[in-house]
């Protein structure tokens, strides 16, 4: 029997990006479906989060994500520009967030088509692998989406015509994410049990093996 796992993912989260190679390997290795469900980053979901966090929070995230990428041999650099429009000193988050709204709605559309893992992997490479500066310009995203079998212009048009449809998908994702018992990303949820972080994937596999996870 094919097992199923939800993966709550943020397009701004470095650890979400770093979880993708292992996630794709899981799907190739095991009789498993991963339902990637995009959510907005904490900067959007929890107003004032970064103002309340320790000053060491961001510094540690940068340090740890960079060394994880080096250890795993994953091409990695923080996106330029940042998907969130946020003041670098005050951490004030702008009211208008065109980048992250677009990315997350695109992810929601791919989710409705049942292909969000492939789409997100393609887009994450454009944002995070260090090969592109100005990922939001030109045809960078379009070429990335095309590699995964998507027409970015058609997706953008559909979302512009009915943004509420995709916002509703994101809202439901965030509701289920919160109900899972964790607030961070990436969070995998299997059989109502949350597994937070890319470093919990081995533990997730162990749990699924206890529920008859089979190799392909």
User: Is residue 196 one of the residues assigned to a domain?
Assistant: yes
User: Is residue 102 one of the residues assigned to a domain?
Assistant: yes
Q: Which of 27-31, 56-60, 185-189 has the lowest mean pLDDT?
A: 56-60
Nearest to 42 by CA among 88, 91, 105: 91
Q: What's the domain range around 108?
A: 3-209
User: Is residue 40 one of the residues assigned to a domain?
Assistant: yes
pLDDT-derived band at 46, boundaries 50, 70, 90: confident
User: Is residue 187 one of the residues assigned to a domain?
Assistant: yes
| pLDDT tops 90 at residue 7 | yes
User: Is residue 203 one of the residues assigned to a domain?
Assistant: yes
C-alpha pair distances (Å), 150 with each of 36, 65, 105, 122, 131: 16, 29, 14, 10, 21
Cα gap 91→84, rounded to integer Å: 11
User: Is residue 214 one of the residues assigned to a domain?
Assistant: no
**Overall number of domains in the chain:** 1
> pLDDT tens, 54-107?
889 889 999 999 999 999 999 999 999 999 998 878 888 888 999 999 999 999
> pLDDT tens, 161-173?
999 999 999 999 9
Instruction: Mention every residue, 6+ apart, whose C-beta is less than 8 A from residue 71.
Output: none
Q: Which of 75-79, 85-89, 135-139, 182-186 has the lowest mean pLDDT?
A: 85-89
| pLDDT tops 90 at residue 36 | yes
What SS3 class is residue 181?
Answer: coil
- Would you say 12 and 100 are in contact if contact means Cβ atoms under 8 Å apart? yes
User: Is residue 216 one of the residues assigned to a domain?
Assistant: no
Q: What is the CATH number of the domain that holds 38?
A: 3.40.30.10
Identify the pLDDT of residue 213: 97
User: Is residue 44 one of the residues assigned to a domain?
Assistant: yes
């Amino acid at each position: 029997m094919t097992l199923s796992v939800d993966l709550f993912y943020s397009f701004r989260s470095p650890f979400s990006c770093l979880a993708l190679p292992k996630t794709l390997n899981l799907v190739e290795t095991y009789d498993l479906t991963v339902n990637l469900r995009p959510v907005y980053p904490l900067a959007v979901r929890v107003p004032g989060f970064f103002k309340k966090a320790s000053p060491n929070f961001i510094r540690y995230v940068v340090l740890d994500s960079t060394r994880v990428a080096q250890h795993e041999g994953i091409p990695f650099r923080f996106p330029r520009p940042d998907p969130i429009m946020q003041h670098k000193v005050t951490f004030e988050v702008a009211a208008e967030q065109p980048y992250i709204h677009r990315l997350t709605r695109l992810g929601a559309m791919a989710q409705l088509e049942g292909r969000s893992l492939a789409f997100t992997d393609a887009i994450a490479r454009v944002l995070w692998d260090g090969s592109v500066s100005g990922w939001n310009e030109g045809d960078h995203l379009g070429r990335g989406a095309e590699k995964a079998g998507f027409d970015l212009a058609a997706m953008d048009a559909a979302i512009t015509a009915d943004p509420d449809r995709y916002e509703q998908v994101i809202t439901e994702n965030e509701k289920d994410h919160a109900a899972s018992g964790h607030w961070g990303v990436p969070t995998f949820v299997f059989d109502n049990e949350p597994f937070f972080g890319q470093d919990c994937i081995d533990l997730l596999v162990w749990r699924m093996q206890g529920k008859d996870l089979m190799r392909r």
